[in-house]
Amino acid sequence: MEKPNPSLSPQLLLLLLLVIVTASSRCRAENNVVGGRGKQSSSSSSGVAFFIFGDSFLDAGNNNYINTTTLDQANFPPYGRTFFNFPTGRFSDGRLLPDFIAKYAKLPLIPPFLKPGNNINDMAMGANFASAGAGALVETFQGDVIDLQTQLGNMKKVGKGLRNKLGKEERDAKISGGVYMFSIGSNDYMSPFLTNSSSSLLFHTSSSRFVAMVLANLTAVVKDIYDMGGRKFVFMNVPTLGCLPAMRLLMKNPNGKCYEEQVSELAKLHNARLSTVVLPRLARELKGFKYSLFDFSTSLHRRMTHPSNYGLKEGEEACCGTGKWRGIDSCGGKRSVKKEFEVCNNPTEYLFWDSFHLTDTAYHQMAREIWNPTPPPSSTITKTSPLAIVGPYTLHQLFHAAIHH
């Protein structure tokens, strides 16, 4: 019997070569993007380190590497589809605010702290500690996320590593010259309603006291970073949570409008105290403390009510999900029993990417707003919405101050 010819046909060899090249290219891209290097070099002309804390509005992929539920992960399609062309763990079709800010500051993409293979050299220009679902309170989605206090602990590990690598003097200069960004509070206020947990602290104390606890925990972390040497901070306030597609659907407001009670009232109280009490007090008490407060709530609301003024076609319905407003958090099919979801054809026309989060386009616009602001369209300004979306420093001013600290 004639033995089969073990050689491969030219066509099959070409196919195998294409598969290997494609897989290799994707692997390199994932390492570069998720690892934080992107297309830019690991050195920066600004020399300013950028450290990021908070929740899914800022998480660049830390939750990819913890034992959590798919509710707190975005490491599957169609996440990442319009910019990276694959999921990175960011809750968007593309980039987040810190990615654009890093670009404007001439920094590489900032790597998630938990990315395997990271070393202290990768974090010399900063690190992203944020975790989707995280809150200022340890109890918020406890066990499934990296809470703010733990994120601070991870920052201290980076500080120690920098000292071992660079020496005390250069490490101190890196920390004091750094910029520290926070987005925290949304999950603290939403989680009691999302989990329907009667044991939540919220249901056993007043709204005022609950908000005070959240802000006290944030303040304590900021002071710890200040004690490490940090002086320049960026804060996002909390969006009107009852306007997020998922919360609108959950709260079942009969008139179909944003749900203005309970969760939205907590957000308003948080924002008022953050802007008028907490941050001004820190600026008075801490010598050299400088900050930018991004009015995320107003920026989001303007785009919801006047999407066309920002080049958007849809300001309320999400691009990815199911149900009314696509408010069922089913994007990617891994969070729903039926494994079904819908996704729009053009995310660049949408404000919301999924039931809670924004598109690459929206984040890009907002990053421009807070880096070097221009006056918003006059039709979006009301008596109750401020003209300025960021202050007292713009992010450009803050990073410039960091360079010349």
Cα gap 70→68, rounded to integer Å = 7
Residue among 56, 131, 186, 264 flagged as catalytic: 56
Residue among 354, 355, 360, 364 flagged as catalytic: 354
Cα gap 362→252, rounded to integer Å = 26
Paired sense of beta strands 290-294 and 390-392, if any: antiparallel
Residue among 270, 301, 357, 364 flagged as catalytic: 357
**Residue 14 burial (CB < 10 Å; 0-12/13-18/19+)?**
exposed
Name the residue type at position 127.
Answer: A
* Nearest residue to 207 via CA among 273, 157, 159: 273
Peptide bond connecting 4 to the previous residue in cis, omega within 30 degrees of 0: no
Instruction: Give the max Cα distance, the chain.
Output: 92
**Annotation says 43 is catalytic:** no
Q: How many residues does the chain have?
A: 405
Sheet holding 290-294, edge to edge: 126-128, 50-54, 179-183, 232-236, 290-294, 390-392
DSSP string for residues in 224-270: HHHHHT--EEEEE----GGGSHHHHHHHT-TTSS---STHHHHHHHH
**Annotation says 56 is catalytic:** yes
* Residue 70 DSSP SS3: helix
Paired sense of beta strands 342-343 and 390-392, if any: unpaired
**Annotation says 93 is catalytic:** no
The per-residue b/e assignment along 155-183, b for 16 or more CB within 10 angstroms, e otherwise, is: beebbebbbeeeeeeebbbbbbbbbbbbb
* Nearest residue to 102 via CA among 152, 155, 38: 38
Catalytically annotated residues: 56, 354, 357
